[in-house]
Amino acid sequence: MSGKNPFIKPPKTKLPTKGYSIFLEGMDAPIRVEPGELPYNEPGLPGSLLSTLLAKGIEIDHACGGVCACSTCHILVKKGLDSTNEANDDEEDMLDEAPALTPMSRLACQCVPDGTSDIHLKIPEWNRNMVKEGH
Ligand code: FES
């Protein structure tokens, strides 16, 4: 499943205008993200951490196809949360279904960094077997 969820209002997001890095816990090297180089495609909102990481070869579970209708893309944004869009009520409602919710919890498909700071991410352990490093 992918596409748009007709039952939610899309959050306001701002795409990055400068490059930033994603530091994924457990990976040696950061993932560099440059504006303009990403496909900004589904699944997930354009520029979302889900679509960005998938484009970079990092697999993250996304059962609903990135339309804010599950909580399988639950991630923890340990640093850089201020440079992402604020979670709206629809995202918060879905996050309520996620196990071990923390103040750092976001849905990767709804979380869009604006590039003003680097992002430090942790994939929750219950999802970790779903994360595979690409090439
Ligand atoms: S993939 Fe379902 S909410 Fe993000």
Residue-level pLDDT at 130: 47
pLDDT band at 9 (very low <50, low <70, confident <90, very high): confident
Residue-level pLDDT at 128: 57
Whether 60 contacts 53, CB under 8 Å = yes
Distance 72 CA to ligand 1 centre (A): 6
- Whether the pLDDT of residue 105 is over 90: the answer is yes
Please compute, for residue 131, the number of CA atoms within 13 A of its CA located in the half-sphere on the CB side.
20
The residue with greater pLDDT, 35 or 6, is: 35
Alpha-carbon distance of 80 to 82, in angstroms, equals 5
Tokens 């596409």 — which residue? 3
Show me where the domains of the chain are located: 30-128
pTM value is 0.89
Distance 95 CA to ligand 1 centre (A): 10
- Whether the pLDDT of residue 124 is over 70: the answer is yes
Looking from the CA of residue 109, the nearest atom of ligand 1 is 4
**Domain 30-128: which CATH number of 3.10.580.10, 3.40.50.1820, 3.10.20.30, 3.40.718.10:** 3.10.20.30
Q: Which residues pair with 74 in a beta bridge?
A: 107
Q: What residues flank ligand 1, with Cβ below 6 Å?
A: 62-64, 66, 68-73, 94, 107, 109
